[in-house]
Amino acid sequence: MREVYLDYSATTPVKEEVVREMIPYYTEVYGNPSSLYAPGLRAKEGLTNARQQVADLIGANPAEVFFTSCGTEADNWVLEGIADQLKDKGNHIITTKIEHHAIIHTCMYLQKYHGMEITYLDVDEEGFVSPEDLENAITDKTILISIMMVNNEIGTLEPIKELAAVAKKHGVLFHTDAVQAAGNVPIDVKDLGVDFLSMSAHKIYGPKGIGALYKRKGIMMPSFIHGGAQENRKRAGTENTAGIVGFGKAAELARVNLDSHIAHSRELRQYLWDQIQAKIDLVRLNGPKDFDKRHPANLNVSFNYIEGESILLLLDAAGISVSTGSACSSGSLDISHVLAAIQVPMEIINGTVRFTVGDFTTKEDIDYTVDALAKVVDTLRKLSPVTGKEGW
């Protein structure tokens, strides 16, 4: 059976070139990078090189890049670190209703255990945050603003440069979660004017278990893990050397291939959307209608009268991997907070599927997917008691 993977925003396969760079760091260059003899120094050299490669992807200085275990850790670190560092200045953090749970759940923790006050900004029906709303939310107690660069569900590209400028005007630190953005949109931290930026290797064809935090030079923040001199004493623990080297290579490939990656993704995403519209009726696009303001590979579509988990399972039976915003998707009964925030009606949210194409997706994959999808939607609609005649 053909297998079609259309969930590149969940994770990506590790590219061969990346794996090839990593393997020696398990077998030959196994020294502890903190050791002072030659094998240790060779391992350290791998870290130094990778730090440069990651810094280059986002226009940073290597000294501003701190490796973490994942993007979520980077998000946790900034929020908890600044809440501690600036506790005498204020206790107010501003974020949005459409952040990843790595941000939202950390904010809820800080609210519950550290007396922080959190403002969750509304977004418009395409998921955009308004710089004006941000400015109105800032108080003299605001110590940090955290707004994602690209939304993981609906692909909205937030106006980070404008938002960061508002923060700067009021002397408030600005963090952006760029886990979905890195490798998918050009990033220059200096041009954007952000103070912190989170990223993750496994979204850019690198390994799982490694992420990074960009922290602008000069900003004070407590260490996140204590117990050693690694990561400039900010994040102790023996480094995941092979993972870091893999992240570095993936970042280099992402930088070198950025234009072709974006062009390929956009072309296939457009083709997917055109084919869905041509072959399936009663569909709805969620997120920005203007594809220029959207993650190049993201398509979020609702199918009327049917439920997302069923669509996912039937597509899975046909070898196709996608994700859904349905409440009934496995693991939780929470509806997508992102789709709720952009005011998608509940019954439509439950019939939502996210497709993300990637470097290994082909036009044939899309043809196969849309054929299967048309059958799946038809099957489930025949099974559904909801027809639209009763009012939705």
Amino acid at 126: E
DSSP 239: -
**Residue closest to 251 by CA, chosen among 55, 69, 71, 59:** 55
Single out the segment in contact with another protein by CB under 8 A; choices: 129-137, 165-173, 190-198, 310-318: 310-318
Q: Phi and psi at residue 109, in whole multiples of 5°?
A: -65, -45
What are the tokens at 74? 């980077």
DSSP 385: S
Pattern 350-379, binding to another protein, x per CB under 8 A?
x-----------------------------
Q: Which CB sits closer to another protein, 293 or 337?
A: 337
What are the tokens at 20? 């090839």
Q: What is the 3-state secondary structure (H, E, C) of 296-308?
A: CCEEEEEECCCCH
273's enclosing H/E stretch is helix 258-279
Q: Which CB sits closer to another protein, 298 or 326?
A: 326
Query: What is the footprint of another protein within residues 319-348 (CB under 8 A)?
Result: 326-337, 340-341, 345-347
- Per the annotation, the verdict on 328 as an active-site residue is yes
Least separation in angstroms between residue 380's CB and another protein is 8
> Is position 121 an interface residue for another protein (rule: CB under 8 A)?
no
Spatial separation of the C-alpha atoms in residues 353 and 356, rounded to whole Å: 10
Single out the segment in contact with another protein by CB under 8 A; choices: 40-48, 55-63, 186-194, 303-311: 303-311
Q: In DSSP terms, which residues pair with 196 in a beta bridge?
A: 175, 215
Question: In a 3-state reduction of DSSP, which class is residue 48?
Answer: helix
Least separation in angstroms between residue 343's CB and another protein is 12
> Is position 305 an interface residue for another protein (rule: CB under 8 A)?
yes
Single out the segment in contact with another protein by CB under 8 A; choices: 16-24, 146-154, 252-260, 380-388: 380-388
Query: Using CB under 8 A as the criterion, which residues of the chain lie in contact with another protein when the complex forms?
Result: 101, 104-105, 108, 305-310, 313-314, 317, 326-337, 340-341, 345-347, 350, 382-386, 392
Q: Which residues are catalytic?
A: 328
